[in-house]
Amino acid sequence: MASGQSSFVQKHLTLIMANKLATVAVVLVGYMVAKLVYAVFLSPTKHIPGSLLDKTIGVRSGLSVLRGNKMHFAADQHRQYGPLVEISPGVMSCNSTTAAKTVYGSHQWRKSHFYSDFADFNGVSSLFSEVKPERAQILRRAFLPAFSRANLVAMAPNIFNHIHKFLDKLDEFERAGKPLEAYKWTRYLTFEVVTDVGFGGEYDMISSGELNHPFVMDFDGSSSWGLVKTVFPFASMVPDWMMGKKLADWRASELRTLKHAQGGLSQWRHHKQVGKTANRVDILQRLIEHGEKNPKEKLSEQELETEIMEIMLAGGDTTATTVTYGLYELALNQDVQEKLRACLRAEMPDSADVTLKHLEAVPYLDWTVKEMLRTHPTLPSLLERVVPAGGAQIAGYHVPGGSVVGMSAWSMNKSPKVFSDPLAFQPERWEKPTPEMAANMLTFSTGPRGCVGQNLAIVQTRIHIGTILRNFTVKLHPETTPEIMRTVDNFQGKPAQDRVLLYFRRTP
Ligand code: HEM
């Protein structure tokens, strides 16, 4: 081709490209202007306070999820705009102390699609992720017998088996003169417990002493992938080669976690067949029994696998984080620790006396556990619900039907209007709680979709904290600073750094 011709073609190609870019820019600007006009003049939530940017596009809210600080982002907006604030188009955060009953009090306020994006596994919704109230009610009926008082009492010996192994580990660290990485080891403890009482799982993580156990690594990757899906709901359709190694590995972790669940179910069936455990107390046993008694509500194999995934997701890290922050608070507040130990020893003079019955006879333990749950709620983020058709009145505003409202335990549990000196760790405040304190403590949420496993979580935390503190003194390692313990909001809260060092010394 002659050089005159080629420069003619190049010139035209450049012009076409420039035109295309200009078209894209015009379309984008037009789109943003349309969104802005909608937010200011047309949106049914235009009267609700919030920054114009957040009311127009949800970029800051999405980024806060990816950065692990959504609860702080929402709290900042409340400081500026009051108890109801639009944090992304059609999504409101609320921290009014009179709103929890309205938002969480009935099935009419359905869970938002956040839950299905985050925690549907293998295309099947679990009780946690199910947004349809009809199916959620069936699943809750199946779950409830597992958390009855009688079943929890029957589970207690299993929980004690694991905590005794944990105490041996504390002795081992003390003999070596080393601090314990408390978050990692309490995760092993609670994973062992939840897989055991969940489906008779036999993960021996504490004795094997393996930090960064593959099961836990897969689990972490799987949770991170869930969070990515809430910001980019179409992420599942993107091929591996387009998403980079880390994201592809997170996605693969979800499949590997599902394999753990499938393995758990087939091991359970095998144990049952060979009569290995005749008097089963685990949650899976109760779910299957429910199906046998109510054939119309029987769960399929795939549904059972999903529920096993959920039990691990909802019941492991939540309790581990509570116990870790609880031990940290006791290390910081030595006066509370001394008082708790004195109460435990008065009730249980000999370490062999430690039983659920004795632990439950110590009111100061009950108040301490409540205060741990209040100060460090492990689902600290906004729990989103869809406003029913017809709308609702919240914090002095009419909120239209179809929009989304969420409240955060992080804010509600520390409301100065309800809890005096809210940042202080004071178990005594639970001696005579006001009705407002009970209504605004949202650690387990509340109402028909509140935590179905909360009785197990409380029994387990009492056993862990009571047994450890009856026998050991906890002290801070100098590296365990408030910055290490800063809570990151990955929907499940966790310390900013995994390395939470604490010293444990057996108390004579
Ligand atoms: C300290 C420990 C725990 C905390 C702080 C906690 C917190 C919560 C919260 C706040 C919710 C409600 C979420 C929402 O409304 O959007 C929830 C739901 C749920 N939790 Fe827990 N949880 C804990 C332990 C457990 C345990 C041990 C299990 C079972 C083994 C469990 C199983 C569930 C399930 C299945 C749901 C979904 C209930 C439904 O949607 O109807 N949780 N949990």
Lowest mean pLDDT among 8-22, 79-93, 141-155: 8-22
The answer to whether the CB of 412 is under 6 A from ligand 1 is no
d(CA 438, ligand 1 centre) in Å: 17
Stretch 494-508: mean pLDDT: 94
Q: What is the dihedral of CA 274, 275, 277, 280, to 10 degrees?
A: 110
Work out the pLDDT band at 99, boundaries 50, 70, 90.
very high
Ligand 1 atom nearest the C-alpha of 457 is: 27
Angle of CA points 444, 63, 483, to nearest 5°: 65
- Reported as a single tens digit per residue, the pLDDT across 104-122 is 999 999 999 888 887 677 7
pLDDT in tens, 430-475: 999 999 999 999 999 999 999 999 999 999 999 999 999 999 999 9
Residue 159 Cβ < 6 Å to ligand 1: no
Average pLDDT of 358-363? 98
The confidence score (pLDDT) of residue 4 equals: 62
Convert the pLDDT of each residue in 479-500 to its tens digit: 999 999 999 998 889 999 999 9
Q: pLDDT band at residue 212, thresholds of 50, 70 and 90?
A: low
3-state secondary structure of 249: helix
Percent of the chain predicted with pLDDT > 90: 68
Average of pLDDT values for 283-311?
92
Domain ranges of the chain: 133-506
Average pLDDT over residues 380-388: 96
Q: Which of 2-11, 404-413, 464-473, 492-501 has the lowest mean pLDDT?
A: 2-11
Q: Which residue has the higher pLDDT, 177 or 255?
A: 177
Ligand 1 atom at shortest distance from the alpha carbon of 450 = 12
Statement: residue 254 has pLDDT above 90:
no
Model-level pTM?
0.90
Backbone φ and ψ of 343, nearest 5°: -65, -40
Rounded distance, CA 438 to CA 151, Å?
26
pLDDT more than 70, % of the chain: 97
Q: Are 220 and 317 in contact (CB under 8 A)?
A: no
**Any ligand 1 atom below 6 A from CB of 64:** no
- Ligand 1 within 6 A of 135 CB? no
Q: Which ligand 1 atom sits nearest the alpha carbon of residue 456?
A: 27
**Residue 100 in contact with ligand 1 by CB distance below 6 A:** no
Give the pLDDT mean for 156-178.
Answer: 95
Per-residue model confidence (pLDDT) at position 278: 66
451 assigned ligand-binding residue: yes
What pLDDT does 2 receive? 53
Return the minimum-mean-pLDDT range out of 22-31, 102-111, 229-238, 398-407.
Answer: 229-238
Residue type, position 80, single letter: Q
Of 127, 312, 451, 489, best ligand 1 pocket probe by most atoms within 8 Å of the beta carbon:
451
- Look at residue 111 in the predicted model and tell me its pLDDT: 96
Mean pLDDT across the chain = 91
The pLDDT assigned to 436 comes to: 94
Strands (E) in 296-454, as ranges, are: 382-386, 392-394, 397-399, 404-408
CATH code reported for the domain at 133-506? 1.10.630.10
Question: Could you give the 3-state DSSP secondary structure of residue 495?
Answer: strand
CA distance 272 to 268: 6
In 3-state terms, what secondary structure has residue 279?
Answer: coil
For residue 23, name the pLDDT band (cuts at 50, 70, 90).
confident
